[in-house]
Chain A
């Protein structure tokens, strides 16, 4: 671990620059993606990546240069390129960062069980093959896949103000999906995959529930292919945590990103229906809504001690009792907007610059067990596991779809329905939050695939949530 740390420090100390401030962010990532599809092991995909980003500040103007050559010569050349660019573009710069404070923090951060070995490649394939073989024989089950992703990431951040931040993280992404087909329609049921990932070791596979899951997932795919379509009309909507993650992500997370509010993303990811003046004033949701930026749940995907600009991370309420308190903005956005924020300046790797990103964005548990959430619904529907997402560029009008739906009538779960979709408007939807599940319904989930930024970046984000109920939501099904 941190094999290059001493050498990097030596090389960083040897760099020559006339910039008022400069930093180096080195990232090394190795990964392994394994899959067994219909009982056939697919070839493993392995990767080994390393490089560094040099960032400079020259007379208040910042620029970066990223390089795959981490020798002293390569780092010095990159530093020089960044300086030249900062000077060339200075007359056209939007921001003067002369007075922006920089980090001088020194710390190490490790994922849980980082030092424990992960199961061997053979053991992993054996586990995947066992689950694949457990999918029952049925001519309507036309495809299934069991997968396991493993990513090890080391990052070392050094800067000219004396900061030295090292983090070593291991991310695990288990999953299974099964597709059923009846000659006309196909339905897929899954566990994990894009809706689950955690930091840690082999225990993450167990926490996902992958082991022994195949038969149940396959059975639910068959139930779906035989189920009627979701009926159309307003219903109370019970969302399980594996759909709440998407609901939080799209209609709270993105609109609260401060760089969007400041207009940086208007050409690509979009803007926000939230304005800087809304913080401290806007009633975002019902009084049951409590949303936190929480980097302190060890296993969650985006737990860390410092962000990629070196700001110290700690748990903060973004929305408390429904009232909007603070945005998702890192040190630079906080400086620009004059608002408090969080440590969420993040980059996907060494070759992309840090920008405001979601990290761990969670809903705090309430007080109701699942039985009471269901029992208090007269005319409703339960939805689980996101499969479709669409929202406008201001993150307001949305339509989301799930894999699994189950009607609720007079406080009882009834029949399974397929193609469960719902639509709404963020600014109104959260005000209809009528019940929040207790800690027994709370799950720590996340996704490896959040895209944003120019140049484009995909980062891992964590979402933890209890099950939640929303009143009178516009629900509908498909055509098939």
Chain B
């Protein structure tokens, strides 16, 4: 049986086992993955993982509980596990009060999205890497395989998402310890495209051969490449747009959503679900909508899960766990790629940032490190790599008064995260030219 057939059989099993007073939502997550780590251009650790699980919510008379259970892939075993789970949830519900914030989606809907492009052969990928990275100190990680996501409910919702994908995330290290970061990800592996990516990284590595320049703390002009900007956006996604965090005054963008401050009018930020790699439905069973989060620097929509919808009287819009964006899109600007160094003049070209956190969350003040390929630029020309530096600055400056321009071209950055399972999040971002970035250490 295919994964989809297994899921639909379990949905049928559950429907036949429920009483008239009971309702359910059932989400399905499965993947089969090749995981291969590289160090010094060779395979350091390799394996395969197959996993499948259900997230089962049972509802009865305003009471509900969730149980996530691993499936074995054997129809008889899984039917029994589902029955056992049902029994456990029934016993649990009997102990619970009614939940005033229960708001399941009672709409009937159907969604199907299947991308079955052939996956690259892992041995071929490893051979290509070994050959093309010969003489290079390459360290990285290759993850590939099919992903399956499903959803069904008592009210007739049925969603299926299936995609084959790969993600090769790697770094090239110079003998002096400096490094370039690169990534090649998508649905269809192309040897030539990979070779071009690797060649580009190899050329960038050449810029790192000079002794790194140590900078003093202070304020500098800076260009943040899309991957660096992604780190800042990632922090803002951590509660920044969450309806619950905003309602409980815990959002780092509280003042923006309060209307006390604005960002630069260049900032137009959206949760662009349509056309993204992630499922069109949330784990709660709500269709996910495209949302305008920030328009010309002014806060607009927030991400609303069902619980927030019930508690705060807002329309649910398909937000997932944590009410974080997962298909972030920042509109392009007017700065041509070829003009970046000239417009930067003298300052920092920052390819990546790393390990960000808040110095003062209410003020949206962030700290973090430069990492990988950061260069000192003078009069529009790269001079030398820069030793690792710490910044500490507010988003209201970086994306506000200090934001000079965004690039015309954007990069689609696919998440390489594999916590618990391979993630489908993405960001579509330009680079940003900043008039002052505060370095502290």
Complex: A72 Cα to B355 Cα, angstroms: 43
Contacting chain A: which of B91-99, B198-206, B262-270, B287-295? B91-99
Most buried by B among A43, A46, A47, A480: A43
Q: Which of B13-21, B136-144, B339-347 contacts A (4 or more CB under 8 A)?
A: B136-144
Q: Is the CB of B358 within 8 A of A401?
A: yes
Interface flag for A458 (CB, 8 Å): yes
Q: Scan A49-72; emit 1 where CB is below 8 A from any B CB, else 0.
A: 111010000000011111111110
Q: Number of contacts between A and B (CB, 8 Å)?
A: 253
Q: Across the interface, do A67 and B171 meet the contact criterion of CB distance under 8 Å?
A: no
A residues contacting the other copy or chain, number (CB 8 A): 85
Q: Check B50 against A66 for contact (C-beta < 8 Å).
A: yes
Cβ of B35 under 8 Å from chain A: yes
Within 8 Å by CB of A49, from B47, B68, B143, lies: B68
B-facing residues in A399-422 (Cβ within 8 Å): 399, 401, 419, 421
User: Smallest CB-CB separation from A84: which chain B residue?
Assistant: B48
**Does the CB pair B97–A186 fall under 8 Å?**
no
Interface string of B343-372 (1 = CB under 8 A from A): 000000000001111111111010111010
> Is the beta-carbon distance between A40 and B101 smaller than 8 angstroms?
yes
Q: Size range of the interface on B? A: 35 or more
The segment out of A263-271, A322-330, A430-438 that lies at the interface is A263-271
Select the stretch in B37-45, B326-334, B425-433 that faces chain A.
B37-45
For B70, list chain A residues within 8 Å (CB): 48-51, 68
In whole Å, how far is A57's beta carbon from the nearest beta carbon of chain B? 12
A13 at interface (Cβ–Cβ under 8 A)? Answer: no
State whether the Cβ of A137 lies closer than 8 Å to any Cβ in chain B. no
Stretch of A291-299, A387-395, A439-447 on the interface side: A387-395
Contact B362 A121 (CB under 8 A): no
A47 adjacent to B69 (CB under 8 Å):
yes
Quick one: which of A51, A64, A397 contacts B47, CB cutoff 8 A? A64
B254 touches A388 (CB 8 A): no
| Complex interface: chain B residues within 8 A of A184 (CB) | 255, 362
Contact B357 A390 (CB under 8 A): yes
Question: At the interface with chain A, which of B120-128, B156-164, B271-279, B375-383?
Answer: B120-128
- Chain A proximity of B154: nearest CB distance (Å): 16
The answer to whether B367 touches A479, judged by C-beta atoms less than 8 angstroms apart, is no
Tell whether, in the assembled complex, residue B363 and residue A44 are in contact, meaning their CB atoms are under 8 Å apart.
no
User: Is the Cβ of A397 less than 8 Å from the Cβ of B369?
Assistant: yes
Residue B298 lies at the interface, judged by CB distance under 8 Å to chain A: no
B26-41 CB mask vs A (1 if < 8 Å, else 0) is 0000000101111110
A65 to B126, CA, bound (A): 18
Q: How far is the CB of B45 from chain A (nearest CB, A)?
A: 6
- A431-480 interface with B by 8 A CB criterion: 451, 454-458, 477-480
Complex: A477 Cα to B139 Cα, angstroms:
38
Tell me if A456 and B418 are in contact (CB < 8 A).
yes
Say whether A456 contacts B248, CB under 8 Å.
no
Minimal beta-carbon separation of B31 from chain A (angstroms): 10
Please give the distance in Å from A213's CB to the nearest CB on chain B: 20
Taking a contact as CB atoms under 8 Å apart, the answer to whether B97 and A41 are in contact is yes
- Residues in chain A near residue B419, CB distance under 8 A: 451, 456-458
Stretch from A92-100, A104-112, A310-318 that touches the partner = A92-100
Q: Is the CB of B43 within 8 A of A92?
A: yes
- The reply to whether B123 and A88 form a contact with Cβ atoms under 8 Å apart is yes
- Is the CB of B85 closer than 8 A to any CB of chain A? yes
Knowing A69-B74, A266-B139, the reply to whether A85 touches B48 (Cβ < 8 A) is yes
Contact with A along B383-419 (1 / 0, CB 8 A): 0000010101010000000000000000000000111
Find out whether the CB atom of A478 lies under 8 angstroms from the CB atom of B143: no
Q: Are B100 and A40 in contact (CB under 8 A)?
A: yes
Which of B37, B92, B170, B179 neighbours the largest number of chain A CB atoms within 10 Å of its CB? B37
Given known contacts A69-B72, A393-B354, A419-B360, A143 and B66 CB-to-CB distance under 8 angstroms: no
Given known A-B contacts A92-B130, A390-B355, A423-B440, A43 and B64 have beta carbons under 8 A apart: yes
Is B50 in contact with A392, judged by CB distance below 8 angstroms? Answer: no
Q: Which residue of A lies closest to B419 (CB)?
A: A456
Is A16 on the interface with B (CB-CB < 8 A)? no
B248 touches A480 (CB 8 A): no
> Once the chains bind, are B369 and A391 in contact (CB under 8 Å)?
yes
Find out whether the CB atom of A393 lies under 8 angstroms from the CB atom of B369. yes
Residue of A nearest to B130 (CB): A92
- Which applies to chain A's interface (DSSP): helix, strand, loop or mixed? mixed
A161, CB-defined interface residue at 8 Å: no
Nearest residue (CB) in A for B88 is A46
**In the complex, which of the residues A66, A95, A479 contacts B365, with contact meaning CB atoms closer than 8 Å?**
A479
Q: How far is it, in angstroms, between the C-alpha of A401 and the C-alpha of B362 when the chains are bound?
A: 14
Q: Which residues of A contact B371 (CB under 8 A)?
A: 270, 392-393
Known contacts A46-B66, A399-B392; is-contact A40 B99 (Cβ 8 Å): yes
Asked whether, in the complex, the Cβ of A41 is within 8 Å of the Cβ of B47, the reply is: no
Q: Which chain A residues in 79-97 approach chain B with CB under 8 Å?
A: 81-82, 85-86, 88-89, 91-95
Assuming the contacts A46-B67, A392-B354, asked whether A480 and B360 have C-beta atoms less than 8 A apart, the reply is yes
Bound-state Cα–Cα, A64 to B441, Å: 42
User: A360: CB under 8 A from chain B?
Assistant: no
Chain A residues near B210 (CB, 8 Å)?
none
Which residues 4-58 of A have a CB within 8 angstroms of B? 40-51, 53
> A454 with B130: in contact, given A143-B250, A392-B369, A399-B367 (CB under 8 Å)?
no
Q: In the bound complex, what is the Cα–Cα distance between A40 and B97 (angstroms)?
A: 9
Contact of B171 among A89, A266, A394 (CB under 8 A): A266
B173 within 8 A of A: yes
Rounded to whole angstroms, the CA-CA distance of A454 and B140 in the bound complex is 8
User: Which residue in B48, B81, B390 is a CB contact (below 8 Å) of A66?
Assistant: B48
**B65 contacts chain A at the CB level, 8 A cutoff:** yes
- CA gap between A185 and B360 in the complex, in Å: 10
Chain A residues, Cβ within 8 Å of B309: none
Q: Is A181 an interface residue (CB 8 A)?
A: yes
- CA of A353 to CA of B33, assembled, Å: 13
- Cβ–Cβ < 8 Å partners of A179 in chain B: 248-250
B47 touches A267 (CB 8 A): no
- Specify which chain B residues have a CB less than 8 angstroms from the CB of A263 in the assembled complex: 39-40, 139, 173
Q: Given contacts A44-B96, A89-B123, A93-B43, are A456 and B417 in contact (CB under 8 A)? A: yes
Query: Cβ of A344 < 8 Å from any Cβ of B?
Result: no
Q: Which residues from chain A contact B358 at a C-beta distance below 8 Å?
A: 388, 401
CA distance A109 to B43 in the complex (A): 34
Residues of B within 8 A of A94 (CB): 38-40, 42-44
- The answer on a CB contact under 8 Å between B359 and A399 is yes
Interface residues as binary, B113-154 with A (CB distance below 8 Å gives 1, 0 otherwise): 000000000110011001000000001110100000000000
Find chain A residues with CB under 8 A from B69 CB.
47-49
Closest to B72 in A: A69
CA A69 – CA B49 in complex, angstroms? 11
Tell me which residues across on chain A come within 8 A of B140, comparing CB atoms: 267, 454
Instruction: Decide yes or no: A393 and B360 within 8 Å by CB, A66-B48, A143-B248, A266-B139 being known contacts.
Output: no
Q: Which residues of A contact B72 (CB under 8 A)?
A: 68-71, 74
A199 contacts partner chain B, Cβ-Cβ < 8 Å:
no
CB atoms of A389 and B357 under 8 A apart: yes
Given known contacts A40-B100, A188-B250, A264 and B139 CB-to-CB distance under 8 angstroms: yes
Neighbouring A residues of B249 by C-beta, 8 Å:
142-143, 179, 181, 186
> Which residues from A are CB-within-8-Å of B234?
none
Interchain CB contact under 8 A, A454 and B101 = no
Interface flags, B51-90, vs A, CB<8A=1, else 0: 1110001000000111111111110010001000100110
A385 interface residue (CB < 8 Å to B): no
A138 on the B face (CB < 8 A):
no
Q: Restricting to B227-260, which residues have a CB under 8 Å from any CB of A?
A: 248-250, 254-255
B369, chain A: closest CB distance, angstroms: 4
Kindly state whether residue A243 has any CB partner on chain B within 8 Å: no
B46 part of interface (Cβ distance < 8 Å) = yes
Instruction: Identify 7 new A-B residue pairs, CB closer than 8 A, beyond the known A49-B69, A121-B92.
Output: A43-B64, A62-B45, A82-B48, A85-B48, A86-B46, A399-B359, A425-B441
10 chain-A/chain-B pairs, Cβ below 8 angstroms: A41-B97, A43-B57, A142-B248, A266-B179, A267-B171, A351-B51, A397-B369, A455-B33, A455-B143, A480-B363
